[in-house]
Amino acid sequence: MLFSVPAWAADEMPTPSFPTEWQMGLQKAASPVMESMISFHNLLLVIITAISLFVLALLIICAIRFNERANPVPAKWSHNTLIEVIWTALPVLILALVAVPSYRLLYLQDRIEQADMTLKIVGNQWYWSYEYPDSEITFDAIATPDKDIKPGQHRMLETDNHVILPVDSNVRLLMTATDVIHAWAIPAFGVKLDNVPGRTNETWVRPTKLGRFYGQCSELCGVDHSFMPIVVDVVSKEAYTAWVAGKKAPAAPAEAPAAAPPAH
């Protein structure tokens, strides 16, 4: 099977979410799930920072006020009902505070009721196969070897064929594998799910930004695990429809023969 890179998916696509040097925090969100993940992450960061500082303060107070020199005759009392109720109830409240958004996020990621389209993702040692069951499109995506990386491209992250998704559409993601467990992951989408042979896992994404998004196989799957990059081009709905039409009509001009396929 020969597939060309469509003209509008040429090398100059923007990358709204990409790791940068000295980056703090997570990649920029490009889906509602990732936005929720980032706000949950920020909430947790506040809570754990406050707890850590509080415990550190207690330790410092104990070390200064109650060391042998400062406090030669220690008090003998034990038990204090009020403080024991507080240090039991407060952690429970904090855990409840964390649990509510945590479960909400878990169920948000789980599945989408009203999907506009379906993308089936199959992990193989060591490349990805993609199927668009609604449009009967199937192709493989093979990592671009270092020698073929062009200026501006990203080593170990490029593939010969790209996943094309329409912007602002609910995409059901079905994941499976043919050999061992892989995991399809795009940080900007907040998607990371195991591709398990013999079963189908489901999640979803609603890409909210146009551009090119990168991911990698995230389950150690063998010797070429690190050579299973993922490239997703999020395009306008019109461009997506044109791409599907081009794939369906084998003789269409958009289906010009690809350049020499990478040696694999």
Contact status: 191 vs Cu ion (CB under 5 A): no
Distances (CA, A) of 52 to 18, 43, 88, 133, 194: 31, 14, 17, 50, 33
Task: Kindly tell me which residue out of 182, 206, 212, 247 binds Cu ion, with binding defined by CB under 5 A.
Answer: 182
Quote the tokens at residue 258.
């690809």
Q: How many of the other CB atoms lie within 10 Å of CB of 75?
A: 7
The site string for Cu ion over 199-238 (x = CB under 5 A, - otherwise) reads ------------------x---x------x----------
**Could you tell me which stretch among 42-50, 90-98, 137-145, 182-190 binds Cu ion (CB under 5 A)?**
182-190
Separation of alpha carbons 123 and 138, rounded Å: 13
Tell me which residue of 192, 174, 188 sits closest to 233, measured CA to CA: 188
Partners of 264 in the β-ladder: none
Measured from the CB of residue 217, what is the shortest distance to Cu ion in angstroms?
A: 3
| Coil, strand or helix at 225 | helix
Strands 191-195 and 211-217, by their bridges, are unpaired
Measured from the CB of residue 182, what is the shortest distance to Cu ion in angstroms?
A: 3
Contact status: 188 vs Cu ion (CB under 5 A): no
* Count of residues that bind Cu ion according to CB under 5 A: 4
Measured from the CB of residue 128, what is the shortest distance to Cu ion in angstroms?
A: 8
Q: Which is nearer to Cu ion, 182 or 212 (CB)?
A: 182
| Residues of span 6-35 touching Cu ion by CB under 5 A | none
Measured from the CB of residue 123, what is the shortest distance to Cu ion in angstroms?
A: 5
Q: Which is nearer to Cu ion, 127 or 139 (CB)?
A: 127
Contact status: 177 vs Cu ion (CB under 5 A): no
Separation of alpha carbons 164 and 179, rounded Å: 25
Runs of H (alpha helix) within the chain: 32-65, 81-110, 237-248
Q: How many of the other CB atoms lie within 10 Å of CB of 34?
A: 23
The site string for Cu ion over 128-167 (x = CB under 5 A, - otherwise) reads ----------------------------------------
Measured from the CB of residue 1, what is the shortest distance to Cu ion in angstroms?
A: 21
Q: Which is nearer to Cu ion, 209 or 225 (CB)?
A: 225
Amino acid of residue 200: T
Task: Note the residues at the interface with Cu ion (CB under 5 A).
Answer: 182, 217, 221, 228
